[in-house]
Structure 1
């Protein structure tokens, strides 16, 4: 299963955050079935962790959530204006002095980083990708990106991908992150820049237009947001919430069998 549509090209650079509402619906249903002795609270902070507040609030309300938790009063108003019938609590204005107990970011596909993992069957909702813009053959010793901290160990091919730290790719993952192209993993070569990364694709038959997957469900060799978090001393929630505004959110809705 993948949330990626290879034909998608919603911007001139092809940056794409595919949000699978079917996956989110199933995640919420799993959490609702496990909720015992209290309401199911879904945290919709930071534009639903970068997934889009209103589309996901609607699905959550239809799939068994009892309360949506937000931080900003404007979020309460946005949900109400969209005609979504569900109880919404704002941390800063409600009776909650501390965040209410809830599902963490399990509804989005990840468990609590400091306690339990996500329940069985939970799958990440967002897939972040962009097309390869160019492929260049370089000799052994060729330096890559700022500071030339990466030099090719042998003759190799380098693929340029228009995703950088302005799009939420953590710069702290320089030297340890990877992306997937055509179901194979390729390491990031050199520093992660604001607008792009370079992948060392070796002798693979990678061509401009092939789609590089920065993260997704993790079922087709691509990393997950949790992998990026591990490479950058971060959390999956932070990785998701930092996906920039210039990455269009594209909503798909597919039936999920688990």
Structure 2
């Protein structure tokens, strides 16, 4: 028969996400030192899961000169917080609130003729960055339409409807500096700039590089680099040791002694090989622990890595704490910088067949956060 110990609830005893803004500061300084032009701090997806406002303020204090986000909703939150620096939003539907963007001095990306027409028709004078597809077949104008977009933007500029302040693109393979895709992307971006200038446009801001290219390819820097993942310690190129910016911990809700052969979790996907103790962690895939990491991931218990066993459930997972056991209420470390042997976001990405970006941005709202 198994023995079960349950922790009595107490205030502040739940999972917590601790953000290290000192790491963000150090990473920003390093990236600003690598960039040959300005540094835009990209704080989309709530600052890659690290808190957009904290990351933004820290980055601006340590070398970044402006901010970038995807949606206008993300831009409003930064303006509401009093951040008055240059701010670019680059992923919006055609019917977005362009008038408010102009009124709140938010620069916007224009990836199509339809977007340009909608922006130009909205009240206000709009500062825009024409966005070219540099080889990803994703966001950005198709090169076949680029010259037409530039001519239309120049006419809108002459009418006083827009001011084309930038041209932007994105490299699809910058995480592998040797990939020939990067040379093709740089060439297409150079062509896009020449085409824009030939129509009479004079974009002051020209930006192609994100974190990986900022670290590995000065040819892609132009007047500005956009960095987001690097701010929080993720280097997609794997060439620089950046500092991780978060630590996720949780208490053991309960600990039980079990026999060899005990089935664990949904589908009985795991059976214990020996008598051991199992600890229950109140985190699951609704909190951002990837389900594909089931029976592969580890957490830190009493200074040692111990395996998660069975399937990760929506709200909980189980750790085999070993024959020495553990006490209910003890804190286990789910992920962190790795300084004390705890799993890192890179470890979780490997166990889940994904990337660190997905791990850190997937951490759920139920996890309490503090800096």
What secondary structure does 1:40 align onto? Answer: strand
Q: Determine which structure has greater relative contact order: mean sequence separation of CA pairs < 8 Å that are 6+ residues apart, divided by chain length.
A: 1
Aligned pairs (5 A) from 1:204-223:
204-223=324-343
Does 2:74 correspond to 1:75? yes
> Which residue does the alignment assign to 1:230?
350
Deviation digits for residues 86-130 of structure 1, max 9, x if unmatched?
Answer: 222111232133454232511111111xxx11523x111011111
* Residues 185 and 222 in structure 1, CA contact (< 8 A), matched pair in contact too: yes
* Residues 27 and 233 in structure 2, CA contact (< 8 A), matched pair in contact too: yes
Distance in 2 of aligned mates of 1:102 and 1:64: 16
Question: Going by fraction, where is helix more abundant, 1 or 2?
Answer: 2
Aligned pairs (5 A) from 1:79-228:
79-92=78-91, 93-94=108-109, 95=129, 96=131, 97=140, 98-99=169-170, 100-103=208-211, 104-112=228-236, 116-117=237-238, 119-120=240-241, 122-228=242-348
User: Which 5+ residue runs of structure 1 have no aligned equivalent?
Assistant: 1-8, 252-258
Shift of 1:11: 6.3
What secondary structure does 2:350 align onto? Answer: helix
* Residues 10 and 248 in structure 1, CA contact (< 8 A), matched pair in contact too: no
* Residues 276 and 325 in structure 2, CA contact (< 8 A), matched pair in contact too: no
Shift of 1:66: 2.3
TM-score, with length taken from structure 1 = 0.87
Does 2:144 correspond to 1:23? no
What secondary structure does 1:188 align onto? Answer: strand
User: Which 5+ residue runs of structure 2 have no aligned equivalent?
Assistant: 1-8, 92-107, 110-128, 132-139, 141-168, 171-207, 212-227
Shift of 1:85: 3.5
Q: 4+ residue runs of structure 1 moved beyond 3 angstroms?
A: 9-13, 96-100
Total equivalences in the alignment? 238
Higher alpha-carbon Rg: 2
* Residues 277 and 325 in structure 2, CA contact (< 8 A), matched pair in contact too: no
Distance in 2 of aligned mates of 1:110 and 1:14: 27
Pair 1:189–1:111, CA change in 2 (3 A): same
Shift of 1:134: 0.9
TM-score, with length taken from structure 2 = 0.61
* Residues 301 and 331 in structure 2, CA contact (< 8 A), matched pair in contact too: yes
RMSD between aligned residues:
1.8
What secondary structure does 1:158 align onto? Answer: strand
Distance in 2 of aligned mates of 1:13 and 1:195: 16
